[in-house]
Amino acid sequence: MPNLPKGHPKLLNAWAFYDWANSVYSLVIASAVFPIFYEMIFKENGKNYVTVFGLQCKDTAMISFVTAFAFLCVAIFSPILSGVADYIGNKKNFLRFFCYLGAISCICLYWFDLNQLFLSYTFYFFGLIGFWSSLVFYNSYLPDIAFPEQQDRVSARGFSMGYIGSTILLIFNLAMVMFPHKFGITGSDAEASMKAMRISFITVGLWWIAFSHITYYYLPKGNHNKQPITKAVILDGFHELKKVWQQLQQNLALKRYLYSYFVFIMAVQTVMLVATYFGATEIEWETPSQKTTGLIICILVIQLVAVIGAFLTSRASGKFGNIKTLLFLNAVWAILCAVEYFVHTPIGFYISAGFVGLVMGGIQSLARSTYSKLLPETEDTTSFFSFYDVTEKIGIVIGMSIYGIIDQVTGSMRNAIVFLGAFFIIGFILLLRVPKKALN
């Protein structure tokens, strides 16, 4: 196993390749095929609600609440895991464990069934846990493997590779769903398409596990500590978060940036997590087949445009600065949320999806690298990125909960989308408070 120095091209590419491996989850499961499958499986049974503790809950609101609960668990447990990882000295093992947990959960979604809703939602729940928990350790590697002047480009490269890799698998899955009989999948057209969707969940898990090994091969091991794990070690992650918070009081730029990040990433991730559910239920499709094909093609367009968006954002940040570029992206997101309220037709949905793609990858990539560049000189990058991830997860918990409540109470996802636009406006205002000289 190679021991490459910091900044080595092979090491940077290997780190970015984990995006290629795991982004199939965020595309196929979180964004494209599973939301369509979820909507169809309820429609087949002639209902759009689930019964929870004797109460009826709208199906789209329920998936929002399950997602919010998963993110709450990640927010609570990631500090513990970070503390243990720092103590043991091998965060690669934690990255690998959560990769396998998420991938196996994706494979288990093949058996998602309304007659076993608790078990079905459990598979979905642990898929989320695996994906987002692995990112805690993946992101924390960035300042370890790349110098500050490399981090914007490497971060953007990771997102770009993720978009390309996941798009390749999605095209394969799209072909299966549209032409299932050509792949030897039996049954009526509707039954065969549903089987193809279930098979696509298996392909996600296998892809994720297989390609992640390229990353594991090159990432540094760290120094192993074989001492037993004590209560103090378990709670150390929270102590580290407290230390990070105390250090933030002395770092005005980083503190103000995190305030803004908390607000705008809440809206970004919520929009991305519910976009396909919105398209499936709020857009006026002519036929079910048009809906399935149209939504997946729409997601493909977003992915392809996002590669360009991440590249343009990286270039723009180099020319205009990180903060100014983030201000622009927040403004565009706010406008898109407002416009989406009036979108009812497939063509309007396609157009808005194209603009979402341009700003989706860019804002995530630039947000991550901006935080990395604002960090003080420290070797304890895991604690700082744990704080970063906890901030994101709590934001998503709030965003998804608000979205689900508005959807449940008003019966429409449109009202919730518009409400999220307000968070981008607040994020824009908070970004203005970041000292202009914070990033040169």
What is the mean pLDDT, run by run of 10 residues, along the chain of 440 residues? 76 90 89 86 79 79 90 84 67 89 96 89 95 84 79 80 87 89 89 93 96 89 58 68 81 87 89 83 83 81 80 86 91 91 89 86 82 76 76 87 87 82 92 76
Structural domains counted in the chain? 1
Tell me, yes or no, whether 393 lies in a domain: yes
Q: Tell me how far apart the alpha carbons of residues 192 and 186 are, in angstroms, rounded to a whole number.
A: 6
Tell me, yes or no, whether 401 lies in a domain: yes
H-type helices in 219-345, by residue range? Answer: 231-248, 252-282, 288-320, 322-340
Question: CB neighbours of 125 closer than 8 A, spacing ≥ 6?
Answer: 66, 69, 70, 105
Type of residue at 192: A
H-type helices in 33-147, by residue range? Answer: 33-44, 59-88, 91-108, 117-140, 142-145
Residue 373 C-beta-side C-alpha neighbours within 13 Å = 24
Type of residue at 152: D
- Distances, alpha carbon 79 to alpha carbons 240, 250, 308, in Å: 8, 22, 34
Closest CA to 95 of 127, 126, 141, 156: 141
Q: Residue 105's pLDDT is what?
A: 97
**By the 8 A CB rule, do 307 and 361 touch?**
yes
Q: What is the CATH number of the domain that holds 367?
A: 1.20.1250.20
Question: CB neighbours of 28 closer than 8 A, spacing ≥ 6?
Answer: 34, 166, 169, 170, 173, 200, 201, 203, 204
Tell me, yes or no, whether 383 lies in a domain: yes
Tell me, yes or no, whether 35 lies in a domain: yes
Q: Tell me how far apart the alpha carbons of residues 293 and 176 are, in angstroms, rounded to a whole number.
A: 11
Tell me, yes or no, whether 137 lies in a domain: yes
| 202 CB burial (10 A radius; 0-12, 13-18, 19+) | middle
Closest CA to 327 of 273, 262, 388, 260: 260
**By the 8 A CB rule, do 126 and 281 touch?**
no
Q: Residue 212's pLDDT is what?
A: 94
Closest CA to 277 of 18, 99, 66, 69: 66
Tell me, yes or no, whether 2 lies in a domain: no
State the residue range of the domain holding 257: 9-431
Q: Residue 200's pLDDT is what?
A: 96
Q: Tell me how far apart the alpha carbons of residues 97 and 423 are, in angstroms, rounded to a whole number.
A: 34
DSSP state of 12: H
Tell me, yes or no, whether 1 lies in a domain: no
Tell me, yes or no, whether 109 lies in a domain: yes
